[in-house]
Structure 1
Amino acid sequence: MTFTFERSQRIAVLGGGPGGYEAALAGAQLGAEVTLVERIGVGGSAVLTDVVPSKTLIATAEASNAIGEAGDLGVQFFTRTESGRASRPSVTVNLEAVNRRLLMLARQQSEDMKSQLIKAGVRIVQGDGRLDGPNRLVVSTGKGKARTDFDEIDADTLVVSVGASPRILPSAKPDGERILTWTQLYMLDEVPEHIIVVGSGVTGAEFASAYRALGAEVTLVSSRDQVLPGEDADAARVIENVFKRNGLQVLSKSRAEKVERDGDEVVVTLSDGREVRGSHCLMAVGSIPNTAGIGLEEAGVQLAESGHIRVNRVARTSVPSIYAAGDCSDLLPLASVASMQGRTAVYHAMGDAVSPTELRNVTSNIFTQPEIATVGWSQKQIEEGIAQGDIYKLPLASNPRAKMMGIKDGFVKLFARTGSGTVIGGVVVAPKASELVLPIALAVEHRLTVDQLARAFSVYPSLSGSITDAARAMHIVG
């Protein structure tokens, strides 16, 4: 459906990541005149150096892990020596080929997104953009680092979606060879002999899990009591136990003071004086928004102390004509949230029907092995009295399909409003938890009760059967 206006609205989008892409696409679909400014390519760092390549690497790690664990299911791999004797081969990973493939997939995804925008009628300008007041972008264009040509883009609405970059510590500066950020990992030709991961948040845990599955020795330096300190405590405990069982060393309550290169090694010095030596070090200590020096404050846009752009539930900033989406804003740093913000911003700016973003309905996933998926209120919030709810946890080991697949770790946990039984949240720890959590997300979004969720027919046997089993166990007598 195309809306018509007395004068076509002009929308300029700065940054072509998930938020900017969706904003541009939504604007074009509503009949606006849309210009997208992107520095490195459509899709931004999310597609080219972050989400797409990292999850592709993790998919390879999962395949390697599956081969290694196939023996538990009775599948055995043997080759024959010259004498005819059976010999068990080792699983090896060609990291150069893996990285070549994941970067190719990232470029393909970027080109696909670019084609979609061009087909929709979006004008794409490649260059470095900055705001010149509340209704104009100035873009430096041209080839190479020294962009000498300039383009001025006037607009009724600006959408800022400039993303974030890895945080760099002065005492641990990446060199792109041995000391690395997560955007630099894809330059490696071989699986690291021993990679030290500094930071046990989502990024650190995901890469630690992946590289251990790929065959690297891994040491995870965590400043907290356990890995994934911001996640469901039961889920984090499962992941840490799996890490340790798989030979991944976790150094809890250990803060990295500095990281230095020593020839072909790296030395991580901890705050208590201990040293950890390895072949490589991945710095996964968070990210900072790319909001400095692009004219936001001069245009009157309010920023948080962290540099993130303050937005309301329709992605609007303190300046009525300027919206912000994605990791540069002060909402959840998730690609799905960025996409929703981008669409919501344009719908609101153009007077279309809009549903303000409800963070409690957002589903998130951590791509460790097994994965952790969450939605809605958390157990911690219930225990602290912020939300009123009952909790039920069902171990995945009791699920018949899990037994058939050799799955030993994981669970399904549901949270339901006390009294009404309305589903208000849940946690899934399982292989492909990102796929299994959807029924719980739908229940949260549409305020279904545990009885309504339990009445859905799950396939027998299936992992999703644990969701209806858990809901059935929370039956509200009425």
Structure 2
Amino acid sequence: MGLALSGPPRPDPAAILARIRTVAHHWSDQQVEGLNNLGIELVSGIASFEAPNQVVVKPSNGEADIPLKADAVIIATGSVPFFPPNLKPDGKRILAPRFASHLEALPEDIIVIGAGATGSEFTYLFNRVGVKVTWLVDPHGVLPAFAPAAGQFLAETLARRGVHLAANQVADRLEADETGVTVTTSSGAQYRAAMVFVAIGRFPDLSRLNLTAVGLPVPAGQTMPTDNFGRSPIPAIYAVGDAAGAPMLANRAMAQAWVAGRHAAGVETPPFRSETVIHAIYTEPQAAQVGRVTGEDLQTVRLAFTAGLKAHLLPEGAGLFELAYDRDRRVAGGVAVGPHAADALAPVALAIQMGASLGDMAAVQGAHPTVSELAFMAARSV
């Protein structure tokens, strides 16, 4: 599982990466098997539009192009990272997420640029495996898409574990040499480490689709407009997942794909509701958020994770849980930071979908001891 046990336990990067690759391959094979069992034909290659109902695929094996026609086309091409000209990775000392799987040896120290989901997760990861981390965080703070309390809790926890958080620092340029990388910020401050990891944003990967052929030119870095069924302005064309814009989450993509696929097939389906999608950050402690958690029409109630017994049974049980509700006492959202935070918000997501009230949630007793109890406990505390 990635630990060398001769002497004190220490990370084994090669073993960790091998484990990641094994799990990834098995999961990919499982998805392909599921598609095959449904009778779905898989065509491998790069697709581009010739008309709203027609695409041509350039096979990855170099064979002749394959024309395909359909009543509907669903775009799910994912996203690509964004790098300003002065912050581009080289795959050697200046890294990005796509290079992480090739990192066979850990650096002594590293600078992480970016404090969104990916930046936070890799800051946690490098710190956890013993790398000295300097985290450059711009004025938007840690996890800017989350309630402020969540980012603050995570930042303080990682700082206690040895992460050097450099607040209000915007990386301006990188200079790499044979021994390391120097980062110069917009304020003129300089930081140096053996490596730099850049994770400052992504945008939809639509550049190879020839969208101009169907009257849908989307400038680089911008998002294709879609409705709550995933339809673009061209009725036969849908977009889901990262291709449909932020927030770029796997579970959001799955929810959108379920709606778009059914709608395209003519099956009655409810529209996609973004407020029911849990946004999870896989750090330790985990952070998660769902629905609306701020607004003049909302009130919140907060519990410590230790309000439930489960936190006392875990090695690290500290955390916070907030439940938001509107003037009609309908559940509006929640935020959690702590062990299994995303699981703790599952009842909140369902409550939002069902239009449940605080009273509805208060009447439910979750399994004891579990983190899912916190949502019901919070409702009873109002």
TM-score, structure 2 normalization:
0.94
What is the letter of the counterpart of residue 310 of structure 2?
R
- Return the offset for 1:119: 1.6
- Asked if the contact 2:204–2:245 (Cα under 8 Å) also holds between the matched residues in 1, the reply is no
Q: Which residue of 2 aligns with 1:108?
A: 26
Counterpart check, 1:272 vs 2:272:
no
Q: How does 1:218-257 map to 2 (within 5 A)?
A: 218-224=133-139, 226-257=141-172
Contact 1:172 1:260 in 2 (8 A): no
Match of 2:232 among 297, 314, 317: 317
* Structure 1 Cα separation of the partners of residues 150 and 377 of structure 2: 19
* 8 A Cα contact 2:361 2:376, kept in partner: yes
Cα separation, partners in 2 of 1:171 and 1:325, compared to 1, 3 Å? same
Q: 1:225 to 1:360 in 2, by over 3 A?
A: closer
Contact 1:397 1:407 in 2 (8 A): no
Deviation digits for residues 87-145 of structure 1 (CA, Å, limit 9, x no counterpart): xx5330101111111012112211111111112111111111111111111111253xx
State, as a whole percentage, how many aligned pairs show the same letter. 27
Aligned partner letter, 2:361: L
- Structure 1 residues 184-223: aligned runs within 5 Å: 184-223=99-138
Whichever residue aligns with residue 233 of structure 1, its letter is P
- Rounded to whole Å, the distance in 1 between the matches of 2:367 and 2:63 is 61
Identify the residue that residue 27 of structure 1 maps to in structure 2.
Answer: none
Deviation at 1:408, TM superposition (A): 5.0
In the alignment, the residues of structure 1 paired with residue 94 and residue 352 of structure 2 have an alpha-carbon distance, to the nearest angstrom, of 42
Residues 323-372 of structure 1 show CA distances to partners (whole Å, capped at 9, x for unaligned) of 11110113531111211222222221222111111112221111111111
Q: 1:174 to 1:148 in 2, by over 3 A?
A: farther
- 2:178 aligns with one of 263, 274, 282: 263
1:168-183 correspondence runs (5 A) = 168-183=83-98
Contact 2:173 2:183 in 1 (8 A): yes
CA distance in 2, matches of 1:460, 1:158: 46
| Contact 1:292 1:307 (8 Å CA) reproduced | no
- Are 2:333 and 1:425 equivalent residues in the alignment? yes
In 1, the alpha carbon distance for the partners of 2:263 and 2:140 equals 43
The corresponding residue for 1:158 is 73
In the aligned structure 2, how far is the partner of 1:351 from the partner of 1:463?
A: 39
| Aligned pair partner of 1:347 in 246, 262, 271 | 262
Q: CA deviation at 1:407?
A: 3.4
Q: CA contact under 8 A between 2:305 and 2:318: conserved in structure 1?
A: yes
Report deviation, 1:253: 0.8
Q: Distance in 2 between matches of 1:128 and 1:293?
A: 8
Structure possessing the higher radius of gyration over alpha carbons? 1
Contact 2:323–2:331 (CA under 8 A) maintained in structure 1 = yes
One-letter amino acid matched to 2:72 = T
Distance change >3 Å, CA 417–CA 142, structure 1 → 2? closer
State whether residues 198 and 284 of structure 1, in contact with CA within 8 Å, keep that contact through their aligned partners in structure 2: yes
- Structure 2: distance between partners of 1:338 and 1:330: 10
In 1, distance between residues paired with 2:43 and 2:315?
51
8 Å Cα contact 1:326-1:338 kept in structure 2: yes
- 1:399 CA drift (Å): 3.2
How far, CA to CA, are the matches of 1:329 and 1:108 in structure 2? 27
Q: Is the alpha carbon distance of 1:462 and 1:358 closer, same or farther for their aligned partners in structure 2, counting shifts above 3 Å?
A: closer
Q: RMSD between aligned alpha carbons? A: 2.0
Picking from 353, 372, 377, the partner of 1:464 is: 372
CA contact (8 A) 2:344 2:374 kept: no
Q: 1:248 to 1:331 in 2, by over 3 A?
A: closer
One-letter amino acid matched to 1:399: G
User: CA-to-partner distance for each residue in 1:219-275, whole Å, 9 max, x for gaps?
Assistant: 111112531122111111100110110010111110111122110312211122222
Cα 1:151–1:217 shift into 2, 3 Å: same
Counterpart selection for 2:49 from 114, 131, 137: 131
Residues 401 and 290 of structure 1: CA distance in aligned 2, closer, same or farther (over 3 Å) = closer
Note the C-alpha offset of 1:424.
Answer: 1.2
Q: Tell me how far apart the structure 2 counterparts of residues 294 and 243 of structure 1 sit (CA, whole Å).
A: 41
Decide whether aligned partners of structure 1 residues 225 and 318 sit closer, same or farther in structure 2, where only a CA change above 3 A counts: closer
Instruction: Name the SS for the 1:100 alignment partner.
Output: helix
- Per-residue CA shift, 1:19-59, capped at 9, x if unaligned? xxxxxxxxxxxxxxxxxxxxxxxxxxxxxxxxxxxxxxxxx
Structure 2 residue runs without a partner (length 5+) = none
CA contact (8 A) 2:317 2:338 kept: no
Aligned length, in residue pairs: 381
Q: Partners in 2 of 1:440 and 1:393 — Cα distance?
A: 14
Match of residue 327 from structure 1: 242
Q: What's the counterpart of residue 336 of structure 1?
A: 251
1:404-419 to 2 correspondences below 5 Å: 404-407=313-316, 409-418=318-327
Q: 2:302 aligns with which of 393, 402, 410?
A: 393
CA deviations 1:273-319 (Å, max 9, x no partner) are 22211111111010122111321122112537732211111000111
Task: Name the CA distance, whole Å, in 1 between partners of 2:134 and 2:342.
Answer: 26
Q: Which residue of 2 aligns with 1:298?
A: 213
Residue 27 (structure 2) pairs with residue 99 (structure 1): no
In structure 2, relative to structure 1, the CA distance for the partners of 1:395 and 1:151 (3 Å cut) is same
In structure 2, distance between residues paired with 1:194 and 1:313 = 45
Give the aligned partner of residue 40 of structure 2. Answer: 122
Cα deviation 1:127-177 (Å, max 9, x = unaligned): 11111111111111253xxx4621111112111111111112221221212
Q: Deviations over 1:411-448 (max 9, x none)?
A: 11111222x32211111211111222111111111122
Q: CA deviation at 1:373?
A: 1.4
